[in-house]
């Protein structure tokens, strides 16, 4: 695990530094590429589609950085190898042949960036090719018009491929496929600028690095494309306007120091977190505060450039805040993290553009922000960090340990979540776990639809037959309260946690009904009933997104059959503040709850 020394010293707010950062990341890709090869292998891990798809992914994903770099007037030696890569990859007689993509094939995902390249940089990825190679590449890309794809953000891959094929006059382009793809993407709009990733309505980071990325990008490309149809322009411009509308919602996910909420899947794409911000900048949205927009983009990249997310040769590793293969989803291979280079889209903007000229401004205040499409209540505390209380619906079996990045009650930018990577060693940070005696602790499962209120939300759930919990989450910045009504037909054991901190060098203390842990300036505290035992739990190595070794303050208790009321008050701070010593939440005889001198309504 290393920090990239070259990147750590750069200021992404300077366009020449941003170009240099992109070039440094591409240098590691070039170092892995064999002259004449059409694939790259970054490591031993392959995604669920196998080695060939993973190696195609590794050679094509970095082009999300190369094409904006070239399109903005920069250069990189990788561009001189690109025509050879494309000729070999589409040549069935070459040992590095990419193979023909089938239905639901990962190679259809990677085809999208070549569509961008054909539209943006045909001088390096089309014109140098021999006529037969052009024909083979066009056919390979055009396969996406004849294959089944998931009904979600993948429709944009088909749209981008067809925009590119049309730009170079390939007979494999399909106006109908382009139009239908854009119409389908438009149908996923949920209102107020939000998109769900398909008809399921799932909301996570795939919004800003897919729907709020491809839409504005396509709108920008259409503005200079005389072949774009009126309906196409209208749909693209509508998606760009929705991205502008959604910007305040998106900025609520960022801390003042550049960190962003680690929520949802594919977090290993890292600084793709800034991709939606950069894409929106292409469209010159009216009324935007360029200092705020550019400042958020710059700080996010700077935050990531300080992290140990690189292999020894400077290539991106799997993981989140450090190199950790265990934190990659099953569809990810060693080249997957290179979608992070989508963040470099603003390199297409000239040096005179306000995105590069405006001084960085801090994010606007975020007191208690309500997001209803993603049921959440967020605020940014005096320490500049964002906390979020949220609820989610059922995820199904695909999520595995990543249910932890959707299903906890609370998330915080400075205190990222830990994943349930080991069933025998529970991670309770940010949530309540329940077990039958001697059994494994389970997170909130079988969730009902959340109920929303201005200062929080509530949700019923059931981890086991015969066990029901009604949970109410209330925001009282800098605190939040978790109030549970537990009904069980048998004895159950519970474990409820505050936020996790780094373990090495941590300070900690615990007693009946309370526990806290601190590492450096970051402190996490949980306070509840004295009947629950306070502990500081060391979490499984490699389970936390940000720290290889982590621990969290927790409350542990066992409850007999019957109905029970539980309440935990949770606090965190990233400034080195003194640990507060409040009176624990107290239940009144009338069923109300008192905390910090306030009598709370639980209706």
Residue 44 banded pLDDT, cuts 50, 70, 90 = confident
Q: Classify strands 593-595 and 598-600 as parallel, antiparallel or unpaired.
A: antiparallel
CA proximity to 469, closest of 444, 494, 450, 492: 444
Provide the token pair at 381: 């505390």
- Say yes or no to pLDDT of 430 above 90: yes
Q: Residue 204: how many CB atoms within 10 A of its CB?
A: 20
Strand partners, 525: 516, 571
The whole-number average pLDDT for the span 381-409 is: 80
Asked if 487 and 467 touch (Cβ cutoff 8 Å), the reply is: yes
Could you give the CA distance from residue 150 to residue 166 in angstroms, rounded to a whole number? 23
Query: Can you list the positions of beta strands (E) in 372-513?
Result: 376-380, 386-390, 410-412, 432-435, 451-453, 456-461, 467-476, 479-488, 492-497, 501-502, 507-511
Cα dihedral 220, 204, 26, 291 sign = positive
> What is the percent of the chain with per-residue pLDDT over 90, rounded to a whole number?
80
Q: Domains for the chain: give ranges and CATH numbers.
A: 5-357 (1.50.10.20), 369-600 (2.70.98.70)
Residue pLDDT, tens place only, 51-66: 899 999 999 999 999 9
Residue pLDDT, tens place only, 172-213: 999 999 999 999 999 999 999 999 999 877 788 888 999 999
Residue pLDDT, tens place only, 573-602: 999 999 999 888 998 877 788 888 888 877
Output the pLDDT for position 402: 66
Residue pLDDT, tens place only, 260-305: 999 988 899 999 999 999 999 999 888 999 999 999 999 999 999 9
Higher local confidence (pLDDT), 400 or 371 = 371
Asked if 550 and 539 touch (Cβ cutoff 8 Å), the reply is: yes
Run of H or E residues at 189: strand 189-191
Q: Classify strands 522-528 and 514-519 as parallel, antiparallel or unpaired.
A: antiparallel
Output the pLDDT for position 400: 58
- Say yes or no to pLDDT of 50 above 90: no
428, 541, 383, 14 alpha-carbon torsion, rounded to 10°:
-140
Distances (CA, A) of 512 to 354, 535, 554: 56, 9, 11
Strand partners, 2: 310
Q: What does DSSP assign to residue 173?
A: -
Output the pLDDT for position 392: 80
269, 273, 274, 275 alpha-carbon torsion, rounded to 10°:
60
The whole-number average pLDDT for the span 490-517 is: 97
The whole-number average pLDDT for the span 21-46 is: 92
- Say yes or no to pLDDT of 398 above 60: no
- Say yes or no to pLDDT of 378 above 90: yes
- Say yes or no to pLDDT of 329 above 60: yes
The whole-number average pLDDT for the span 381-397 is: 83
Provide the token pair at 203: 């909301």
Asked if 154 and 206 touch (Cβ cutoff 8 Å), the reply is: no
The SS3 call for residue 106 is helix
What end-to-end distance do the CA atoms of the chain give, in Å? 49
Distances (CA, A) of 238 to 60, 185, 187, 189: 29, 11, 12, 11
Output the pLDDT for position 155: 97
- Say yes or no to pLDDT of 457 above 50: yes
The whole-number average pLDDT for the span 41-49 is: 78
In sequence order, what are the residues at sequence separation of 6 or more whose Cβ sits closer than 8 angstroms to the Cβ of residue 56? 38, 39, 89, 98, 106, 107, 110
The whole-number average pLDDT for the span 73-95 is: 97
Provide the token pair at 2: 């290393």
Specify the residue for token string 């054991």: 493
Q: What does DSSP assign to residue 435?
A: E
């Amino acid at each position: 695990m290393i920090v990239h020394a070259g990147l750590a010293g750069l200021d992404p707010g300077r366009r020449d530094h941003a170009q240099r950062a992109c070039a440094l990341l591409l240098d590691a890709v070039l170092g892995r590429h064999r002259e004449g090869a059409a694939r790259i292998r970054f490591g031993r891990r392959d995604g669920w589609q196998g080695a060939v798809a993973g190696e195609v992914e590794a050679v094509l994903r970095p082009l999300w950085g190369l094409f904006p770099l070239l399109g903005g007037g920069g250069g990189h030696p990788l561009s001189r190898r690109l025509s050879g890569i494309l000729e070999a990859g589409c040549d069935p007689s070459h040992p590095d042949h990419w193979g023909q993509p089938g239905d639901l094939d990962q190679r259809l995902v990677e085809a999208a960036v070549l569509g961008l390249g054909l539209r943006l940089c045909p001088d390096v990825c089309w014109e140098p090719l021999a006529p037969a190679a052009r024909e083979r590449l066009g056919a390979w890309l055009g396969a996406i018009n004849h294959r089944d794809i998931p009904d979600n953000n993948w429709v944009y891959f088909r749209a981008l491929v067809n925009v590119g094929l049309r730009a170079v006059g390939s007979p494999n382009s399909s106006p109908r496929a382009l139009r239908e793809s854009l119409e389908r993407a438009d149908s996923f709009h949920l209102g107020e600028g939000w998109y769900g990733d398909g008809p399921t309505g799932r909301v996570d980071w795939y919004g800003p690095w897919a729907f709020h990325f491809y839409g504005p990008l396509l709108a920008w490309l259409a503005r200079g494309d005389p072949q774009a149809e009126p309906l196409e322009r209208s749909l693209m411009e509508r998606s760009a306007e929705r991205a502008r509308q959604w910007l305040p919602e998106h900025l609520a996910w960022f801390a003042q120091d550049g960190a962003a909420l680690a929520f949802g899947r594919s977090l290993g794409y890292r600084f793709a977190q800034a991709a939606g911000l950069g894409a929106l900048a292409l469209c010159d949205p009216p009324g935007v505060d360029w200092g705020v927009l550019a400042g958020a983009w710059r700080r996010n990249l700077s935050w990531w450039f300080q992290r140990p997310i690189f292999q020894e040769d400077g290539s991106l590793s799997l993981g989140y805040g450090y190199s950790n293969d265990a934190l990659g989803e099953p569809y990810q291979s060693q080249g997957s993290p290179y979608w992070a280079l989508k963040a470099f889209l603003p390199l297409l903007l000239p040096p005179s553009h306000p995105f590069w000229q405006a001084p960085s401004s801090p994010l606007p205040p975020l007191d208690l922000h309500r997001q209803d499409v993603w049921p959440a209540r967020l605020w940014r505390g005096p320490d500049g960090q964002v906390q979020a209380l949220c609820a989610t619906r059922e995820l199904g079996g695909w999520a595995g340990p990543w249910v932890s990045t959707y299903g906890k009650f609370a998330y915080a930018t400075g205190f990222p979540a830990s994943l349930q990577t080991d069933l025998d060693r529970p991670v309770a940070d940010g949530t309540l776990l329940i077990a039958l005696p001697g059994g494994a602790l389970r997170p909130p499962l079988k969730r009902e639809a959340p109920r929303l209120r201005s200062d929080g939300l509530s949700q019923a759930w059931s981890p086991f037959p015969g066990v029901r919990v009604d949970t109410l989450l209330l925001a009282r910045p800098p605190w939040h309260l978790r109030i549970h009504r537990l009904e069980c037909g048998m004895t159950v054991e519970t474990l409820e946690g505050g936020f996790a901190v780094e373990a090495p060098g941590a300070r900690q203390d615990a007693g009946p009904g309370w526990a806290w842990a601190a590492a450096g300036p970051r402190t996490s505290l949980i306070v509840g009933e004295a009947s629950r035992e306070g502990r500081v739990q060391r979490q499984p190595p490699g389970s936390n997104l940000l720290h290889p070794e982590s621990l969290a303050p927790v409350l542990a208790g066992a409850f007999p059959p019957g109905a029970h009321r539980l309440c935990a008050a949770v606090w965190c701070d990233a400034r080195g503040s003194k640990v507060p010593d409040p009176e624990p939440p107290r239940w009144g005889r009338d069923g109300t709850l008192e905390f910090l001198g306030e009598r709370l309504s639980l209706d």
